Amino acid sequence: MSQGGDTSNTELAEILGTIGLSSLEARAYLELARGGQLTAAESAKRTGIARPEVYEVLRNLENKGFVRQTLGRPAKFAPVDPLELRTRILREEKKRFDSIEAGMSKILEVWPFLRAIHDPESRIPKTMTLRSRKKIAAMVDSMVAKASESISMCTTRRGILTAMQADFSNIAKKLVDEGVETRIVIDEASISKLPPSFAPKDVEVRVSKGPKARFYIVDEREVLYHLHLQAEEDLWGSDETALWTDSQDQVSVYGWIFRNEWEKGIPLRRPQIASHKAQSRGGS
């Protein structure tokens, strides 16, 4: 693995390009890093960027938060420390992705109705918003009871396993006995919370680094997925919200999401549960 001093200008410029800098901006920023504080004229001389153009490049870097202009005449430009940049960029990216996730959830909710408007022959799907863990649990029970071919679940420790409010191993055994293919993806952090008899041997469980949603459950006809939790401290789940729909568009979407998570998951070995439990007790 190369050390920091061995990293070429080209590699560094490519890295800066992935976070929004042009090739000229990356060149100017790296030269500022070497020079500490430079005037526009000094920057133009060191980088080889034409004097009129370097002013625009430095202004762009300042607007993007990569450099600061110092007081005095002539003004000098100083590079912002990468640690500060990383903190700000990651915070902004998280905010952007949270906004995307919230927006896409809204789009998924209305998508079936938008489709129906343009296709009068299509069946308008049923959709229900379920508020409170009790209502969510009742819908999970209903889906499990109706499943005839397959049922897939992706969950975290505060997800569907909590919402089911029942002995999951018995429910899973019933599904297996009835010939329903049952697959579960659970996040890594939840393993220590599972009872040793979590699922029958005929039910394959895979461990994921962390599902993006708190939970969802999908079969060939319907899907139930968690939307949000307004109050994390709400132990009774009265603020938990999930959406159920029999829209085949959304069944297809969540079926694809599950398959993708399933393929990335690692099969759970039953001894892992005991091992994780022991580690959890040892760390407490």
The top-scoring range by mean pLDDT among 57-61, 99-103, 196-200 is 57-61
Distance CA 67, CA 85 (A): 10
Q: Which residue has the tokens 């005929």?
A: 202
| pLDDT: which is higher, 240 or 186 | 186
The structural domains of the chain, ordered by start, are 4-80 (1.10.10.10), 83-124 (no CATH), 125-283 (3.30.870.10)
pTM score: 0.50
| pLDDT: which is higher, 121 or 50 | 50
- Quick: pLDDT tens for 167-187: 666 777 788 888 888 888 887
Distance CA 226, CA 191 (A): 20
- Quick: pLDDT tens for 125-167: 788 888 877 888 888 888 888 888 888 888 775 565 555 545 6
Centroid of chain to Cα 134: 26
- Quick: pLDDT tens for 16-27: 888 889 999 999
pLDDT reading at 47 higher than 80:
yes
Peptide bond into 74 cis (omega under 30): yes
Confidence grade of residue 258 (pLDDT, cut at 50, 70, 90): confident
- State the pLDDT at residue 57: 93
Confirm if 206 and 185 have CB atoms less than 8 A apart: yes
Confirm if 65 and 80 have CB atoms less than 8 A apart: yes
**Structure token digits, residue 64:** 């993007």
Looking at the DSSP bridge assignments, the partners of residue 183 are: 152, 204
Confirm if 41 and 51 have CB atoms less than 8 A apart: yes
